[in-house]
Amino acid sequence: MFEVINTSEYARTGLLKLRHGSIQTPAFMPVGTNGTVKSLTNDDLIETGAEIILGNTYHLMLRPGDELIKELGGLNNFINWSKPILTDSGGFQVWSLGDLVKITEEGVSFKSPYDGRNIFIRPEDSIQIQQNLDSDIIMVFDECTNYPATHEEAKSSMELSMRWAKRCKDFHTSDGKLFGIVQGGMYKDLRSSSLEKLNDIGFDGIAIGGLSVGESKEEKTEILEHLAPELPQNLPHYLMGVGKPEDIVEGVRYGIDMFDCVIPTRNARNGQLFTSEGVVNIRNAEHKKSTLPIDPNCKCKVCKNYSRAYLNHLDRTNEILGSMLSSYHNIFYYQSLMQDIRDSIKNNKFANFVKDFYNMRDLEMPKGPV
Amino acid sequence: MFEVINTSEYARTGLLKLRHGSIQTPAFMPVGTNGTVKSLTNDDLIETGAEIILGNTYHLMLRPGDELIKELGGLNNFINWSKPILTDSGGFQVWSLGDLVKITEEGVSFKSPYDGRNIFIRPEDSIQIQQNLDSDIIMVFDECTNYPATHEEAKSSMELSMRWAKRCKDFHTSDGKLFGIVQGGMYKDLRSSSLEKLNDIGFDGIAIGGLSVGESKEEKTEILEHLAPELPQNLPHYLMGVGKPEDIVEGVRYGIDMFDCVIPTRNARNGQLFTSEGVVNIRNAEHKKSTLPIDPNCKCKVCKNYSRAYLNHLDRTNEILGSMLSSYHNIFYYQSLMQDIRDSIKNNKFANFVKDFYNMRDLEMPKGPV
């Protein structure tokens, strides 16, 4: 199901075969929270090179409801997307509700923000919902450990997640792949212990959860560095909710194969555009008369056809087309970044790629493997 | 410059040759207020069959400014639209400001809603601005007569507009075509007198202004019916700011060649979708589980690919893609309507077309020429 093709220290390229097609890794998965990657059509996504998107179980179970989506032939049919879909478990969103949620051994309860009804989700329910959505990749239901947390708190939270992971595995019956999630907060021993438990249960892929929750860059790198040699080589490695372009490059250095993040689309709607030389804030007055494209090195249709002056104007007038063009460019940028990463690993030039990546942005390259 | 090709009583098909290409008439011009037809890309517009779009002088002179647009090579270049553009004169928007505007013989003064600065527009300024935008069709600066108005008020307002029309003609120097605008409120004698004055001055096209300002359907029809035999046959006739599909069909019956309106895009953003059988409100709960397309008779990519259930979901979750798909469908519907009108006139079947149009919508066909 997953084949590693080229490697460069921990970094690797691979091919992940799923029911709706194969995806090349390292891969970036645009986030389609409500069954749409915001401001983009499916044709747009395919043009950018996206081979898989993510759907949010929490949002979709509430609106329009997973049973309705099942009735209409699954999420692919409902949103008319023919390539693979990964769904998260809803655990992270429920955890984000904070005090509004009650967590027990059995599962979590919270009130729907839309109609106030009480909702109880057990790990089994999360899997059932994702099976109703008919996802290509199903994530286990987990508790995201708070940050900061004491060793005792992190251990107790991780062990609950591992018991839930086992229940998810026992319940899972669809032909979608099932991924486990490593928890354990900022404690290396807990991370190792979590990974060991997941390996014992047996999953189709290993995700790293509980990062990008407030920790420092150094703490995150320490966890990635610690886990890199322990991750099973034959399974895909997915770093959840990450990140900025530099976070992705760092992830790949530590053997990560899959990423997802709302940053390219959310930041696009706020005028933040990614380029080969860093971030352009299109709202800045300096772009008001600029005939330059967003990024002279970018081959996307927005950079071919539109000036910064026009994008600045669309942003200032709050026009939907501004969100559309900016989101397109940012997702294209992310997909091109992944393509460049894959090419450089394949051509045994990943070390150069990483060096150039930081040089072009005038950033110091963090120590680490290449 | 304008050639009438087929006729059916007052209705006619024609070809209007402009600097950026020819347009087939009767034509519908999508409105691109801020230099973008809301929620649509230029590729989308061309796919729907749009051959000309409208830009709003009032909005563009304020943001980003007509001199900036001139500096960047004109509106076509700025927004990357290669086909013709018609700009209105700004008169209607200024008039819409109501008490905030002061009108004198010389021109109008008002405060910018964006930075509060005082702005004075003379008819000559409006033409200069439109020449800066480099429009294919420039509209004279006029005063829209209030509704209701006494005969004396309407006469005085119309005569001011005619003096302004002469000043516009005298000032105009670009190779964009210049259209005059018939005013005169709901008074037939004033409308005839206005048209006569415009004919004396000499324009490339005749627009009918001051309708859809609060009058009844019957009053509007009376004015169209009255003007139809008087409009110069060799010039294009443009009914400004109109309208719903039935208003367009009625306009064509009275010899109108060009229409513009925000209804297809604005209503799309509010869930109102046009179909061959009338309006579908996609917000209605009845569509929540519907696998039907918006309009089974529509050939657009939205109707081919998406269900009412998905569009209902996108609307309920306030997703930008909902506005994008709905706007695309509505503009496609309008352009298909124009194509059907043109085909029926060409094939000498316009009378049947009008009958069927009303039958399919269960509406009574208004009396009038076909």
Q: Are residues A246 and A322 in the same domain?
A: no
Question: CATH no. for residue B157?
Answer: 3.20.20.105
Is B266's Cβ below 8 Å from some Cβ in A? no
One-character DSSP codes across A208-253? E-S-SSS--HHHHHHHHHHHTTTS-TTS-EEETT--SHHHHHHHHH
Q: Note whether A306 and A248 are same-domain residues.
A: no
Average pLDDT per block of 10 residues along chain A, 370 residues long: 97 98 98 98 98 97 97 98 97 87 95 90 98 98 95 98 98 97 98 98 98 94 98 98 97 98 98 96 98 97 98 98 98 98 98 97 92
Smallest CA-to-CA distance from B52 within B70, B30, B33 is with: B30
Mark whether A289 and A250 lie in a shared domain.
no
Tokens 């004279």 map to which residue?
Answer: B140
Task: Determine phi and psi for A332, rounding to 5 degrees.
Answer: -60, -45
Q: Is A91 within 8 Å of A63 (Cβ atoms)?
A: no
CA A39 to CA A33: how far, in whole Å? 12
Token pair recorded at residue B114: 């964006």
Q: What residues of A are in contact with residue B309 (Cβ under 8 Å)? A: 64, 68, 72, 78
Q: Answer with the one of B220, B235, B261 that is the final residue of a domain.
A: B261
Ramachandran category for residue A151: left, alpha or beta (phi over 0 → left; psi -120 to 50 → alpha): alpha
Q: Of A236, A261, A286, which residue constitutes the final position of a domain? A: A261
Looking at the fold, whether B158 and B9 belong to one and the same domain comes out as yes
| Number of residues that this document lists for chain B | 370
In a shared domain, residues B351 and B297:
yes
Residue B106 has pLDDT above 90, yes or no: yes
Of A64, A312, A325, the CB nearest to B313: A64
Whether residues A247 and A195 share a domain: the answer is yes
Statement to judge: residues A125 and A243 lie in one domain: yes
- Report the residue of B46, B76, B290, B321 to disrupt the A interface, i.e. the one with the largest count of A CBs within 10 Å: B321
Average pLDDT of the residues in B117-121 = 94
Q: How high does pLDDT run on average in chain B?
A: 97
Together in a domain, A282 and A312: yes
pLDDT, position B153: 97
Amino acid occupying residue A48: T
What per-residue string of b and e applies to B71-110 under the rule 16 or more CB within 10 Å gives b? ebebbbbbbebebbbbbbbbbbbbbeeeeebeeeeebbbb
Residues A325 and A254 in one domain: no
B63 touches chain A (CB under 8 A): yes
Q: Are A32 and A41 in contact (CB under 8 A)?
A: no
At A125 the pLDDT is: 98
Structure-model confidence comparison of residues B27 and B115, the more confident one: B27
Say which residues have a Cβ less than 8 Å from residue A367's Cβ, sequence separation at least 6: none
Q: Active-site residue A125, yes or no?
A: no
Q: What is the pLDDT of residue B100?
A: 86
Residue whose structure tokens are 């917000």 = B283
Q: Which residue is closest to B328 within chain A, CA to CA?
A: A41
Q: Using an 8 Å Cβ cutoff, are B237 and B206 in contact?
A: yes
* In a shared domain, residues B178 and B104: yes
A203 in contact with chain B, both atoms CB, cutoff 8 A: no
Q: Is residue B367 part of a domain?
A: no
B209 to chain A, closest Cα gap in Å: 27
Question: Which residues on chain A are in Cβ contact (under 8 Å) with B305?
Answer: 80
pTM for the model stands at: 0.97
The pLDDT-based confidence of B99 (bands split at 50, 70, 90) is confident
| Tally of CB atoms within 10 A around A199 | 15
Establish if B364 belongs to a structural domain: no
Report DSSP state, residue A38: T
Within chain A, strands assigned E span 2-8, 11-18, 21-25, 27-32, 53-55, 85-87, 102-103, 108-111, 118-121, 137-139, 177-182, 205-208, 237-239, 258-261, 272-275, 278-281
Judge whether residue B15 has pLDDT over 90.
Answer: yes
% residues pLDDT > 90 (chain B): 95
- Write out the residue range of the structural domain in which residue B330 sits: 271-357
CB-nearest partner of B289 from A71, A306, A321? A71
Q: Which residues of B are catalytic?
A: 88, 260
Whether the CB of B72 is below 8 Å from some CB of chain A: the reply is: yes
Length of chain A: 370
pLDDT tens digits, one per residue of B56-92: 999 999 999 999 999 999 999 999 999 999 999 998 9
- The answer to whether residue A366 sits within a structural domain is no
Q: Are residues B17 and B100 in the same domain?
A: yes
A165 lies in the same domain as A25: yes
Give helix A320-346 / helix A350-360 axis angle, nearest 10°. 140
- pLDDT of the residue at A98: 85
Domain limit, last residue, from A205, A232, A261: A261
Q: Distance (Å, rounded) from C-alpha B129 to C-alpha B180? A: 17
CA B136 to centroid of chain Cα atoms:
15
> What is the token pair recorded at A74?
């699954």
Compare CB distances from A320 to B289, B309, B323 and report the shortest one's residue: B323
Check if A80 contacts B (Cβ < 8 Å): yes
pLDDT number for residue B94:
87
User: What pLDDT, on the 0 to 100 scale, is given for residue B175?
Assistant: 95
CB–CB contact B64 A314 (8 Å): no
Is B187 part of any domain? Answer: yes
- Is A364 domain-assigned? no
CB of B286 within 8 Å of any CB in chain A?
Answer: no
A252: tokens are 């790949």
Which residues from chain A sit within 8 angstroms of residue B65, using beta carbons? Answer: none
Closest CA to B205 of B130, B125, B137: B137
Contact B291 A79 (CB under 8 A): no
Q: Is B170 part of a structural domain of the chain?
A: yes
Interatomic CA distance for residues A218 and A230, integer angstroms: 19
Q: Is A367 within the bounds of a domain?
A: no
Question: Structural domain tally of chain A?
Answer: 2
User: How would you classify the pairing of strands B108-111 and B118-121?
Assistant: antiparallel
Spatial CB neighbours of B257, under 8 Å, sequence gap ≥ 6: B12, B14, B16, B25, B26, B27, B236, B237, B238
Q: Is residue B370 situated within a structural domain? A: no
One-letter amino acid identity for A268? A
Q: Does B35 touch chain A (CB under 8 A)?
A: yes
Quote the tokens at residue B276: 């061959």
Q: Which of A66, A88, A142, A204 is catalytic?
A: A88
Is B324 in Cβ contact with A35 (below 8 Å)? no
Which region, left, alpha or beta, applies to residue B255 given φ > 0 means left and ψ of -120 to 50 means alpha? left
Q: Are B314 and A72 an interchain contact pair (Cβ–Cβ within 8 Å)?
A: no
B321 and A80 within 8 Å at the Cβ level: the answer is no
